[in-house]
Chains A and B, each alone.
Chain A
Amino acid sequence: MFDPDAEYVRKAGAGDTRAAEALVRRHLPRMVGLARRMLNDGAEAEDVAQEVFLRVWREAPRWKPGAAKFDTWMHRVALNLCYDRLRRRREKADPDAGVHVADPAPLASEAWLASQRTAYVKAALDALPERQRAAIELVHFQDLTNIAAAETLEVSVEALESLLARGRRALKAALADVAHDLIGGADGVPRG
């Protein structure tokens, strides 16, 4: 199994600053993006990304290629850190708190509409069970292959597909009423 990061990890572990910079350049924005979507909190997302890299620096000197790709291992670490934070949040959750989607203002600006669209989709994602949400995060947003995503979640490809399908069905149901408005205003054109 070819791992494009293996050489960088080996060198970074030996103290090569350029290799460490390359790893940060390649992976830091993706780790921040993943954590931000999982936690809906920019500051917490940065904390998670920083913690992932602290573990990278700790593991790099003794990293043995072969067991799992480095990128897969990083995603697993990041997801576990996000799960921990989500668990802590649930433990001290305010039952009255929730994602607030405001009523449309009479003269809604385009920016306001965009923020509302984002809030709807985030709320639907937040409502998914953790594992379904993680599966969608890895495949849809992080663009991992099905094999890498399954390895990250430590499940079979069939189990990954089941998580994805259940997650997508739940999202479709949650967003069914607003789908037309959401897509009508979305800038992104669906790929494929």
Chain B
Amino acid sequence: MERARFEHLLDAYGADVARWPAAERAAGAAFAERHAVDLGAPVDEARSLDAMLNIVREPVADTAALAARVLAAAPVVRDNFDKRALWALAACAVFGVVLGYGGGVLAPTTDADDTLFVMAFEAPFVAPGEDG
């Protein structure tokens, strides 16, 4: 690694090579070790800034209550189940109608059936007690 490239990466990512581009970490660490003496000031400055930034790297407080609120808004399986059940119910209803209509159209009828049907509706209505 060239010194200019090392200093460019040091300026951008700081002294911790773990933050450097993955492909250049090993070369950067080796360069820093080989030139530890003459690199002194820029590396020390970068390390100081990293340390100052670490001051505000405070751990996040307990997020359990927030997590519960967030999860309450998450999609749940029950919604999908309800949707599937609704579709199944609709399909059953359509199937029932089709089956009933088809059965009515396709089922063979006889003249005798028709006669009885007509008689049932055309016979005079006699209320109970009026026949005698």
Interface residues of A (CB under 8 A from B): 12-17, 20-21, 24-25, 28-30, 32-33, 36-37, 42, 46, 49-50, 53-54, 57, 60-61, 117-118, 121-122, 125, 136, 139-141, 143, 145-147, 157, 160-162, 164-165, 168-169, 171-172, 175, 179, 182-183, 186, 188-192
Nearest-Cβ distance from residue B16 to partner chain A, whole angstroms: 3
Number of residues from B at the complex interface, CB < 8 A:
44
Closest to B29 in A: A192
- The answer, yes or no, to whether B22 is at the interface (CB within 8 Å) is yes
A61–B19 alpha-carbon span in the complex (Å): 33
Q: Quick one: which of B15, B58, B60, B77 contacts A192, CB cutoff 8 A?
A: B15
Q: Chain B residues with Cβ under 8 A from A20's Cβ?
A: 71, 74-75
A178–B87 alpha-carbon span in the complex (Å): 68
Q: Chain A residues with Cβ under 8 A from B16's Cβ?
A: 190-192
Q: Quick one: which of A24, A60, A183 contacts B67, CB cutoff 8 A?
A: A24
| A125-B56, A168-B12 given; 17 more Cβ-contact pairs under 8 Å | A12-B74, A14-B77, A15-B76, A15-B80, A16-B77, A37-B56, A49-B70, A147-B21, A162-B12, A164-B13, A165-B12, A168-B46, A171-B49, A179-B52, A182-B55, A183-B48, A190-B50
Nearest-Cβ distance from residue B57 to partner chain A, whole angstroms: 6
Instruction: State the majority secondary structure of interface residues on A.
Output: helix
Q: Chain A residues with Cβ under 8 A from B61's Cβ?
A: 42
Q: Chain A residues with Cβ under 8 A from B8's Cβ?
A: 161, 165
Q: Chain B residues with Cβ under 8 A from A157's Cβ?
A: 21
The answer on a CB contact under 8 Å between B45 and A28 is: no
Q: Chain A residues with Cβ under 8 A from B70's Cβ?
A: 24, 28, 49-50, 53
The answer on a CB contact under 8 Å between A32 and B74 is: no
Most chain B CB neighbours (cut-off 10 Å) among A30, A161, A191, A192: A192
Asked if A179 meets B19 with Cβ closer than 8 Å, knowing A17-B74, A57-B75, the reply is: no
- The answer, yes or no, to whether B69 is at the interface (CB within 8 Å) is yes
The answer on a CB contact under 8 Å between B48 and A179 is: yes
Q: Quick one: which of B52, B53, B54, B60 contacts A36, CB cutoff 8 A?
A: B60
A37–B57 alpha-carbon span in the complex (Å): 9
Closest to B19 in A: A139
A191–B56 alpha-carbon span in the complex (Å): 15
The answer on a CB contact under 8 Å between B52 and A171 is: yes
